[in-house]
Each structure stands twice: as C-alpha cells, then as structure tokens.
C-alpha cells in the first residue's frame, strides 16, 4: 500500500502541475457544455401524461363494509386501469380492524417490501389520504342529509356519489401527469457532463501514452519501483480516481442549483467510479493495440457515438414510435439511464445487472491492458 500511495501522490502532483489547464479541461468545458445544451434543448424536455400501471396489495382487516368496498372499488373502472391488485406487490395497503366503525379515528397503514419506486409510493399515499378523507366527508354529509326528505335526499346522494367517482378519477389522472418520470434539461445534461469528463479522461489516457511530449512524465512516475501488474493497476486506478474527483467537484457545484439535492447526487458516486474506470481502461487498451493514428481515430469515433447517443436527445425530438427506438438504444441503457433514474428518485442499484456488466468490462480491460503491457515488456 505504501508504494500505491506514493504512486498516487506523484500522479496527482503531476496531473495538477498545470492546474489552470486541468480546471478548464475537466470543469469549465463540461459546465459550458451543460449550460449551452440546457438552454438550447430545454423545450424538448417536457413531462408527458402517461397511464399508471401500479402493482398494489391490500390486506383487509376491517370487519365492516368499507374495507371490502375499497377492494371492489380498486378492481372496477376507472381505477383498475391504474392499479393492479397483486398479493405479493411491493406496496401494500393495510385496512385496520375497526375502520368501518370509526374511520375518522383509524389510520390506514401503507407498508413496503422489496423494490419499489418512491414515485409510486407517493402516489399511493396521496390517493389513500384522498379516499380516507372522502369517506369521512361522506359520513358527515350523510348525517346532514338525514334532515332532507325522501326524493330530495335520494337525488342528493346520487349527485354526491357521482361527484366522488369523478373526483377520484380526476385525482389519479392528475397524479399520473404530475409524477410522470421526466428529467429537466439541466438534469439530463448534468449526466451528459459527467460522462463527458470520462471521455476527456479516456482521451487524456491515450495521449499520455502515444505523445512523445509525455515521456518525461512517464519516467517521473517510474521513480517508485513497480512490477508490471502494479504499473498497470496503479496507473488505471490513479486516473480513475482523478476523473471521479472532477466528477464529484462538478456534482458539488451543481448542488447549489435548485433542481438538484445533495442527498440524491451523492448516490451517483458508485456509477461515477465505474464509468470513469471503464473509459480509462478503454483508453489505455486502445493506446496499446494500435498505431498513433489508429488510436486517435478510434477515440474520435467513440466521441462521435457518444454525441449521437447522448448529447442530442433524438428520441424526444423525433417522438412517436421512432423516438422510442432512439430512447431505448443500448448506449442509453448502459451509460445514461442508470444515473438518470437515480436523479428521478430510483434506488442506487436498481440497474444492478448493468452495474455488474460494467464492472466485468472494467476488469477485462484492466486485465487486457496488463497482458499486452507484459508482452511488450518481455519483447
């Protein structure tokens, strides 16, 4: 570990030797990209109203009629279009034992288990609060309508029932629109800026190897005696930590913007690490397997793909079925979707399978870089 920290110290000192250039390259340029694209594309990022399809479980302990009426209510139109009643759903509504006897004094409990979305949980809580209050209001109005006579009371009750049904339908539709997962332009381009920093790191890692100007820096890093595996791993991990450091600096800066909260942003750090490690590993492998020209061309091609897949939201611009094709491409799913979903309130490792795939790719790239470097050293 002593060797590692010595190497890390030397590498960071060399990286910040020209700190003005480093700040411009890794902070100023990403912030400019983020600001320009946010201003030019803000009209594209508009929330759309979509149908809710929310799995929901109900545990009815109520001995009266209200618990059963809620179950039948959710199983009928229009609410069955929004809520799917399932026994093993992650969000469960528990109706207390004496709810029908005294709804004003009993509380409906909502419990969770497994994986669920905070957006879905918020919707269920709001809906049940509304339904509970409606039941209480109905009972209070029923007491008042007892003073009405015959047909007058019957007509009043019919209007009240129709009003309640219309209210619940409108409420769910309104919540569907309000809670539709949709990023603001500034949030979308913050994710783009993070990946842009990783792209700069990849380009810098190839430049460090293929440019003659950096041979002196390579020699200075060789002050600490290392074997081939240590050289490979120390170089990769040091560059990865540097890129992650600049990503965290950008994260701290944007946390002052009202659209972001630091409690959500810190959850991005594991993904920042894996993306930084992936692009650094890719850059180092590219610098080992081809000529200088081939390496430069490869980096430019990757940069163009990044721009096409992420910088311009083609799916939102085109719209419709073709727009969905652009939204669901592999580049979006692997590199953009995980961090975007975290900003929308999803769990850090909701895309755990993607994270494992990326970790596997990082391991393969580091191992490949080591094998190529060792072969060159022997030759």
What is the reported pLDDT for 169? 52
Residue 247 confidence (pLDDT) above 90: yes
pLDDT: is 310 or 372 the higher one? Answer: 372
Sign of CA dihedral 245, 269, 232, 289: negative
Residue 82 confidence (pLDDT) above 80: no
Average pLDDT of the segment spanning 170-181: 49
What is the reported pLDDT for 245? 93
User: Which string of DSSP letters, residue by residue, matches 26-54?
Assistant: IIIHHHHHHHHHHHHHTTT---------E
The residue written with tokens 């759309």 in the block is 48
Tell me the three state secondary structure of residue 179: coil
In the chain, where the domains are located: 2-46+182-378, 54-178
**Which phi and psi (to 5°) does residue 4 adopt?**
-65, -45
Q: pLDDT (tens digit, 9 = 90+) per residue, 330-370?
A: 777 788 888 988 888 778 888 889 999 999 999 999 999 99
Q: The tokens of 165 are what? A: 């049904």
d(CA 255, CA 245): 15
Say what the pTM is. 0.63
d(CA 121, CA 235): 45
pLDDT: is 296 or 328 the higher one? Answer: 296
d(CA 35, CA 372): 40
pLDDT category, 287, cuts 50, 70, 90? Answer: confident
Residue 211 confidence (pLDDT) above 50: no
What is the reported pLDDT for 269? 94
What is the reported pLDDT for 337? 84
Average pLDDT of the segment spanning 236-241: 91
The residue written with tokens 């590692």 in the block is 4
Could you tell me if 89 and 57 are in contact, meaning their C-beta atoms sit under 8 angstroms apart? yes
Residue 56 confidence (pLDDT) above 90: no
pLDDT: is 293 or 186 the higher one? Answer: 186
Contacts (Cβ under 8 Å, ≥6 apart) of 286: 206, 295, 298, 299
What is the reported pLDDT for 366? 94
d(CA 167, CA 169): 5
Residue 102 confidence (pLDDT) above 70: yes
* CATH architecture observed for domain 54-178: 3-Layer(aba) Sandwich (3.40)
Residue among 72, 127, 67 nearest 94 (CA)? 67
d(CA 231, CA 7): 9
């Amino acid at each position: 570990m002593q060797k590692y920290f010595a190497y890390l110290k030397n590498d960071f000192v060399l990286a910040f030797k020209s700190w003005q250039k480093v700040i411009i390259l890794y902070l100023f340029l990403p912030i400019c990209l983020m600001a320009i694209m946010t201003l030019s594309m803000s009209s594209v990022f508009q929330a759309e109203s979509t149908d809710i399809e929310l799995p929901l479980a109900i545990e009815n302990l109520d001995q009266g009629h209200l618990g059963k009426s809620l179950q039948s209510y959710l199983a009928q139109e229009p609410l069955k279009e929004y809520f799917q009643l399932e026994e093993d759903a992650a969000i469960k509504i528990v109706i207390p034992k004496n709810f029908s006897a005294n709804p004003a004094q009993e509380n409906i409990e909502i419990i969770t288990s497994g994986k669920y979305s905070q957006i879905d949980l918020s919707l269920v809580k709001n809906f049940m609060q509304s339904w509970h209050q409606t039941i209480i209001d109905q009972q209070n109005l029923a007491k008042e309508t007892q003073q009405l006579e015959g047909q007058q009371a019957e007509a009043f009750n019919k209007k009240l029932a129709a009003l309640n049904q219309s209210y619940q339908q409108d409420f769910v539709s309104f919540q569907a629109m309000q809670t539709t997962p949709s990023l603001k332009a500034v949030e979308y381009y913050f994710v783009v800026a993070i990946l842009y920093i990783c792209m700069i790191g990849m380009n810098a890692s190839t430049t460090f190897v293929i440019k003659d100007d950096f041979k002196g820096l390579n020699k200075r890093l060789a002050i600490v005696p290392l074997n081939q595996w240590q050289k490979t791993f120390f170089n990769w991990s040091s560059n990865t930590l540097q890129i992650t450091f600049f990503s965290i600096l950008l994260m701290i800066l944007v946390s002052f913007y009202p659209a972001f909260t630091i409690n959500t942003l810190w959850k991005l750090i594991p993904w920042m690490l894996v993306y930084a490690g992936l692009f650094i590993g890719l850059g180092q492998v590219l610098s080992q397997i081809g000529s200088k020209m081939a390496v430069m061309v490869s980096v430019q091609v990757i940069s163009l793909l990044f721009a096409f897949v992420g910088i311009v939201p083609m799916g939102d611009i085109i719209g419709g079925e073709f727009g969905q094709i652009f939204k669901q491409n592999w580049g979006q799913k692997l590199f953009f979707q995980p961090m975007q979903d975290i900003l929308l309130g999803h769990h850090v490792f909701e895309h755990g399978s993607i994270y494992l795939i990326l970790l596997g790719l990082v391991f393969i790239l580091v191992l490949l870089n080591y094998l190529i470097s060792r072969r060159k050293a022997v030759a």
